[in-house]
A and B are shown apart, each in its own frame.
Chain A
Amino acid sequence: QKEVEQDPGPLSVPEGAIVSLNCTYSNSAFQYFMWYRQYSRKGPELLMYTYSSGNKEDGRFTAQVDKSSKYISLFIRDSQPSDSATYLCAMSFTGNQFYFGTGTSLTVIP
C-alpha cells in the first residue's frame, strides 16, 4: 500500500466551477500536509500548507485536513483556465522528508 493515494484524474471542469481534489493516506503519524501545483515540465510550486488538522483558506483556495479519516482536500473556487495544471499533495512526519501523491491533472475549460 502506498503511503499517499491520489486519484490521477484527469479532471475536466468548466470555468467558474468549484474543484475538489483529494488525497488519502495510511500513516496517522503524518503531521505536515501540503498542496503543490505543477505546470507541464516545471517544478512544483507550493500552494497551501497545513500543520495537523483543520482548514486553511487563501484566496480561492481552501485546504482541509481530516486526520481522523486520513483524508485531505484542496478546494478551488471560481476555477480559471490558468488553474489548469497537475496538483500534488504531499505530507510529512517531521517536516523534512515528504511523501507525494501521484498528482491530479486538472483542466479548466473556458
Chain B
Amino acid sequence: GAVVSQHPSRVICKSGTSVKIECRSLDFQATTMFWYRQFPKQSLMLMATSNEGSKATYEQGVEKDKFLINHASLTLSTLTVTSAHPEDSSFYICSARAGGFGEYGYTFGSGTRLTVV
C-alpha cells in the first residue's frame, strides 16, 4: 500500500514553455502533498505544501507564480513550472503521507527529471 505515482518521469522542454507534473496517491487519500526539488548531490528542498481544496503554502524563496500548485482532489496534486528557464532544470519529487505517522511515513513519487533547453 501507500503508493505515490508521479508523471512524467522525464521531460525536456524549451525555454519559455510551461510543464505540468502530476502526483497521484494510488491507494490512499492525501489531503496534503509536498513538492520537493533536488539538485545533483544535494538534499531535497521543500518547495511547497499542497492542501486539497485550498491554496498551497510555499517555502521562503519559492516563486508561487512560477511554480503553480493545484490540489483539486484527495488523490491528485499538480505542479506547473511556468515560463521555464534552464535554471529550473532539476529533479522534482512529490510526497504524501498515508495514514498515521509511522505506518508508511512519507511516501515519495519516483520523481520527474526536468530539463529546460
Residues of chain A at the chain B interface (Cβ within 8 Å): 4, 6, 8, 32, 34, 36, 41-46, 49, 51, 88, 95-98, 100-103
> What's the least CB distance linking B38 to chain A, in Å?
9
Task: Say if the beta carbon of B46 comes within 8 Å of chain A.
Answer: yes
Q: In the bound complex, do residue B41 and residue A49 qualify as a contact, i.e. CB atoms below 8 Å apart?
A: no
* Residues of A with C-beta under 8 A to B95: 43
* Residues of B with C-beta under 8 A to A46: 104-107
Alpha-carbon distance between A77 and B74 when the two chains are bound, in angstroms: 39
Q: In the bound complex, do residue A49 and residue B108 qualify as a contact, i.e. CB atoms below 8 Å apart?
A: no
Most chain B CB within a 10 A radius of its CB, from A43, A102, A103? A43
Q: Which of A41, A44, A98, A102 contacts B41 (CB 8 A)?
A: A102
* Residues of A with C-beta under 8 A to B42: 102
Q: Which of B45, B97, B101, B111 contacts A42 (CB 8 A)?
A: B111
Alpha-carbon distance between A96 and B95 when the two chains are bound, in angstroms: 11
> What's the least CB distance linking A44 to chain B, in Å?
5
Q: In the bound complex, do residue B6 and residue A98 qualify as a contact, i.e. CB atoms below 8 Å apart?
A: no
Residues of chain B at the chain A interface (Cβ within 8 Å): 4, 6, 32, 34, 41-46, 49, 91, 93, 95, 97, 101-102, 104-111, 113
Given known A-B contacts A41-B113, A43-B111, A51 and B43 have beta carbons under 8 A apart:
no
Q: What are 21 contact pairs spanning A and B, CB under 8 A?
A: A6-B43, A32-B101, A41-B91, A41-B113, A43-B4, A43-B95, A43-B111, A44-B44, A44-B93, A44-B108, A46-B105, A46-B106, A49-B102, A49-B105, A95-B97, A95-B101, A97-B49, A98-B106, A102-B42, A103-B41, A103-B43
Q: In the bound complex, do residue A42 and residue B110 qualify as a contact, i.e. CB atoms below 8 Å apart?
A: yes
> What's the least CB distance linking B92 to chain A, in Å?
10
* Residues of A with C-beta under 8 A to B91: 41
Alpha-carbon distance between A95 and B98 when the two chains are bound, in angstroms: 12
